[in-house]
Chains A and B, each alone.
Chain A
Amino acid sequence: MKPGAVVLPTVDDVGFKAELVKLIPHLRAFAFSISRAAEAEDLAQDAMVKAWRARASFEPGSNFKAWVFTILRNQHTSLARRAWRSQPLDPGVAESTLMASDDPMASEELLDVRSAMLLLSFEQRQALALVGAAGLSYKETAEICGCAEGTVKSRVSRARAELLAILDRRKHRQRVRTNVPAARVFETIMAEAAAMQNRDEPRSSV
């Protein structure tokens, strides 16, 4: 833009801004599902400002949410790549710092999943956040992540499996550390109850 040029707000800009403001809660929610709390707010703010500056390149009538999410996702990807190069992630250290930086108001279960999410590869995390947390379709997610739908599907399923494995390992470590037999007793009772239920079911023809 030439210095001194006067640009009047157009109706399009006003409408664009209103739509962008409506999406801010989703930008924040997406950012908080893929990065630690200390960085998520910046990530969401950057994406919002970038979206505003790039408004001329948005095609009216296309998926606005996917367009804005793509900006956030690209920003996150370049930050994640930079961080990876400068400092290889040590899972032990990462886990403790991630746990510490979380929202003190959230329940333990949420914190657990949140911090486990942050141990996934950034690509798996993005895919799982978009499909599993934000509830977007595989198609939209593929568009946002710039990959094939099949790739999204496999990233999501690997992310889910990996997440459960991380939570398992954590639970196991906790059990060893605190040596609380209550958890094991509960699991035994549940396993026995399920086994009894199985016994009542008609025998399968194996």
Chain B
Amino acid sequence: MNRSKSSKLEQRNDRQRQTVLGTTLKRLYADVAEQPVPDGFLSLLEQADRKRQS
């Protein structure tokens, strides 16, 4: 394989890996975003809200 072909291949691999990385990052985020909100959050917010009212 000559040099230009091998660098072409590398470039293509690079692009492919960037695409895979992009998809993985989005999934990483979506996995958490789709989880139900833990109870602790809502009770903390209620607590902060009560402090304001009392």
Q: A residues touching B (Cβ–Cβ < 8 Å)?
A: 1, 6-9, 13, 17, 20-21, 24-26, 28-30, 32-33, 41, 44-45, 48-49, 52-53, 106, 109-110, 113-114, 128-129, 132-135, 160, 163-164, 191, 194-195, 198, 204, 206
Contact = CB atoms under 8 A, between A and B. Distances in A.
Q: What is the predominant secondary structure among interface residues of chain B facing chain A?
A: helix
B25 A29 contact: no
Interface residues of B, number: 33
Nearest to B17: A164
A164 B25 CA distance: 12
Given A49-B44, A52-B45, A129 B4 contact: no
Interface of B: 1, 4-5, 8-9, 12, 17-18, 21-22, 24-35, 37-38, 40-42, 44-45, 48-49, 52-53
Contacts of B35: 25, 28
A21 B42 contact: yes
B44 A113 contact: no
Contacts of B33: 25-26, 28-29
